[in-house]
Structure 1
């Protein structure tokens, strides 16, 4: 086999409390994907690390599905007559609220555009096309945009256009604790109300702006006062056993602010110090209150997004 391309894509934490569906943060935990010219016919996959025992090894894998769907919108493409092999080296846990599926979608899109345009796919125009398509596939960009661009990203859709604004942060370290709990994104969406009051909308808009300013300026006091939400956390936290207690435990142990990571079930804590102690406190709370084993990671914010090596 001949390696054609390697892509590294970071984990992400979306929403960040009040920034529902429009704000996300890239984290220094990476999935790596390799595209090889295979032998014979058909597209095959091998996975190592997180999810290696459960992820599919054929064209039903999300990377391959995305790659095929993207290619077939531009060219006649029969995957059964192709010869590609994809290697996934996963450090981002699946179903954790850390954007694992977004890394797969982005990898599939990057591979497809590398096949379509080997010279220009990873330039500015190629990146813009990939971001637009990822936004369409995901329905919102709060995971895919920071995974592609790095750092803190605000992202919204407008009349078919994706508007992004990337914000450079001072060195920022977080703790993410993920319980062993299957919390499907579809279920996480289904528990949300269809309508919100004006006061709840105003509450979130104001706090989202304050969270951005607090992170941009490293303002711990402002972050601890602003990180609150009325759009999704009041409905999702109770659906995850032990999550409410884990959030309380992190704050009691010294975290500045604590929120769901994406839709959950992972919990994200911002802190200046005692990161391991905060992670252990969340682990203990999940075990005691929710009966769930949990793992935690201490992670820096990733200043760069997806990296392509040809």
Structure 2
């Protein structure tokens, strides 16, 4: 059988990508720390070689997200293959969305990672990007690496930019740590949240934040008993509190009871990093009692999650 035309990805490919949700910042790790958690979006991509694009969405965003070439995963796939000098006509995309949108759990990062990994898998092997290049491309498309890095690699990712290139390393996460997420019904865009931050912060605040970020990495890896002081933030949560007052107040309540609660990413999800199953149960109970007393329990979802340690996974099926 003749191969595909030069510059066109092969028709008949069938690829599935599963990407975890992520919680960035974790308090003091602003734009540099991110944790992968056990909540997954899955996309299946097939190439027909024919005209047009077909997108089917189930779960989060069904009925509201676009189902044509403007879908973020489709745009990202095309961006990835075109950057390698190829085109991808006739895409068929099935998206099973579980990660809540606009809640600070990395839904856009998941879409970008899905698109980049799917697009990369569609390319001939000799044209595919390696892990470092995949991270850099995903970070550039997302704008920063704090969510895409743990989505790609799993676990706790520590990310930075060096010489115009985004880089990341993974750090161990203690087996006792259990993330408990309180997810509100309301959304908050990352752009809106970023617009609330000042251009400068006092030097003492920056110095204090650096110390807490270092302590947090130690607490996550070796000593979860230090998670509460390790999650103190001086850079962003206070400035954003007015845009998500119920989340900020819930976070404060949990912290006053000894739980390492933070705003997940740009919010408005509240993430408690529990030290073992008993503290996870305590977090669930305190959240339920607080929301019930406020009369808003029906507006929130409480999810006990796991730390995802594997990151995104790509499965190439037999060609159809």
TM-score (norm 1): 0.90
Is contact 2:16-2:118 (8 Å) kept? no
Question: Cα offset for 1:118?
Answer: 4.0
**Matched residues in 2 for 1:289 and 1:236: separation?**
21
Cα deviation for residue 32 of structure 1 reads 0.8
Residue in 1 that maps onto 2:214: 209
| Partner residue of 1:69 out of 50, 62, 79 | 79
Q: What does residue 299 of structure 2 align with?
A: 293
Whether the 8 Å CA contact 1:3–1:34 is kept in 2: the answer is no
Mapped partners of 1:99, 1:140: distance in 2: 12
Larger Cα-atom Rg: 2
In structure 1, what is the Cα distance between the partners aligned to 2:203 and 2:92? 51
Q: Match of 1:246?
A: 250
Contact 1:5 1:35 in 2 (8 A): yes
Cross-structure match for 1:149: 153
What residue is the counterpart of 1:116 in the other structure? 123
- Tell me how far 1:160 sits from its aligned partner: 2.0
* Correspondences of 1:16-35 after superposition (within 5 Å): 16-35=26-45
Q: Are 2:91 and 1:84 aligned?
A: yes
SS in 2 for 1:240: helix
Counterpart CA distance in 2 for 1:274 and 1:53 is: 38
- Note if contact 2:101-2:187 (Cα within 8 Å) is conserved in structure 1: no
Distance in 2 between residues matched to 1:200 and 1:253, nearest whole Å: 24
CA distance in 1, matches of 2:117, 2:220: 30
Q: Secondary structure at the match of 1:241?
A: helix
- Structure 1: any 5+ residue segments left out of the alignment? none
> Does the C-alpha gap of structure 1 residues 48 and 297 become closer, same or farther in structure 2, counting only changes over 3 Å?
same
**What is the TM-score with the length of structure 2 in the denominator?**
0.87
Unaligned stretches of 5+ residues in structure 2? 1-10
Indicate the residue corresponding to 2:5 in structure 1: none
Q: CA RMSD in A?
A: 2.2
1:258 to 257, 261, 268: 261
Matches within 5 A, 1:83-102: 83-102=90-109
Q: Sort the Cα spacing of 1:211 and 1:165 in 2 relative to 1 into closer, same or farther, 3 A.
A: same
CA distance in 2: counterparts of 1:50 and 1:119, whole angstroms: 35
Which is worse superposed, 150-159 or 105-114?
105-114
Deviations 1:113-151 (A, max 9, x none): 222234674xxx522221110111122101000000010
- How far apart are the structure 1 equivalents of 2:41 and 2:112? 12
* Matched residues, number: 302
